[in-house]
Amino acid sequence: METTELKIVEEKKHLSAKTIMGIISINFIIIVFTVFLGITIYISSSNKIIPGIYVKGVEISGLTKEQAVQKITNEFNNVLPNYLTVFHGDYETQLNLEDIGANFNIEEVVNRAYNLGREGNIFRNMGTIMKNLVVLENLDLNVSLNNEQTTNILNDISTKIPDAVVQSSYYVDGKTLVVTRGKAGNVVDVEKSMENIKNRIADLTFASNRIELVTIVKEPEAIDMDKIHNEIYKEPVDAYYSTNPYVVHPHENGVDFNISVDEAKAMLNEVKDSYEIPLKYTAPNVTTNMIGTEAFPDLISKFSTKYNARDKDRTTNLKLAAEKINGTVLMPGETFSYNTVVGERTIAAGYKEAPIYQNGEVVDGLGGGICQISTTLYNAALFANLEIVERRNHQFVPSYANAGRDATVVYGAIDFRFKNTRNYPIKIICTVSGGIAKCEMYGLKENPDYEVEITSEITEKTSTSIKSATYKTVKQNGQIISSERISRDTYKRH
């Protein structure tokens, strides 16, 4: 009986101890839970990043978002070099990281870090915080590129790699359209190459290593003769002008295949590297040179020289050259070529034999005298303050111009060229009559316009040569804008 009672007492003691331990355990769990709950609530309500958070090995625990951004920026700001090298086979080139818009997404990764322990319910957030106390979280730093700019650059590289696909193309050679057949080759896989570049930058391993471009084999696009015809075809457009403000609209020649489109398509049945399609051009009813002087209200400059009207052959040559030039309209930015406009001086064109300079002597030559027209035009261009592109002086000082004020021409060898650097077209009026060769330039005066002064002087005379220097002074409202020497010339003595 006593033994049974003792067993009961012992069992009660044991149960009491287990109950006490259970209660203590529960209380401990409650306390720990309460502590972590409090920590979770505290952290969630604070503006600090939870413990145990790193970005690429840089700890940002306990920092505000602004502090974390600053710390990461300081760590990685100087990591990106200016260039990275990409290659395909033997081809390689450098990409400017600024051009492709390479950028570490620091704010994005800081936002991710900040949201850890905040983005779920209270229990999930507490679990995240507890886990990070034991296992650290090391976040990746993502890289972004400017997709449009990088795509354009990689597409451009596609055309430069040695084994690039060659697309079908065409070009105009005079009155012939040449269509070339393309060849299969490689192109850069833009999407995959961009991903490689971003990953290598993010891994911080690109600085000392080249990045291989991903390429794919591609066939060229088929020749589309309908598309080519639509791009080539153009109706002629008459030249015209408008006022208020004055604007000259130059003519445009019409162009079309000189065979049918079906005939052009039939050429493609024969596999060749290229195909030649004849073209035909249609002139408009009104060309730019036909626009009247009313479209050019202001006299910009003029210059004249004297000639011997009794020398009929020479006079004929002067008139032929002047007639070719007369009425020429030079658009802004366009360059005038004397040899192109006047053309070759031939018997068929009506030119006569007249004195010319040749090999240091005065001899009769076909087209003799036309340099007087180029000289007259040269001075008119100077006074219009136009850019002189090409000009050479004679062997001897000509009778119709002072030293340094002449311009010789020889077809196929020496040209006289100048460029319309004004904002409005120029119409050239060139006449030969009554012993006077005259060149005038009409257009639209700028406000304020320029005044040009041309001076030349003999700098040296010897028994065999004459040397000169020519200067141009430009004024605006009476004030000197510029003054420069435009030429130094050496002549033989007669």
Condensed to tens digits (0 to 9), the pLDDT of residues 10-23 reads 665 555 656 666 66
SS3 call for 440: strand
Instruction: Classify residue 205 by its DSSP letter.
Output: -
Could you give the CA distance from residue 170 to residue 179 in angstroms, rounded to a whole number? Answer: 4
Could you give the CA distance from residue 390 to residue 378 in angstroms, rounded to a whole number? Answer: 10
Q: What are phi and psi of 353, to 5 degrees?
A: -75, 130
Residue in 180, 271, 166, 269 with CA at minimum distance from that of residue 220: 166
Residues written for the chain: 494
Instruction: Extract the tokens encoding 391.
Output: 């000009």
Is 284:253 a contact under the CB 8 Å cutoff? yes
Residue in 409, 331, 404 with CA at minimum distance from that of residue 365: 409
Could you give the CA distance from residue 441 to residue 329 in angstroms, rounded to a whole number? Answer: 10
Q: 214-245 burial by CB neighbour count: b if 16+ within 10 A, else e?
A: bbeebeeeebebeebbeeeeeebeebebeeee
Residue in 377, 313, 306 with CA at minimum distance from that of residue 341: 377
Q: Work out the angle between the directed axes of helices 312-325 and 371-383 (0-180°, nearest 10).
A: 40
Low-confidence ranges of the chain (pLDDT < 70): 1-46, 77-78, 120-123, 125-130, 132-135, 205-208, 355-367
CA angle (331 as vertex; 325, 337 as ends), nearest 5? 40
Extents of the domains making up the chain: 1-42, 225-288, 292-492
Is 193:154 a contact under the CB 8 Å cutoff? yes
pLDDT at 40: 55
pLDDT at 10: 63
Residue the block writes with tokens 């005259």? 438
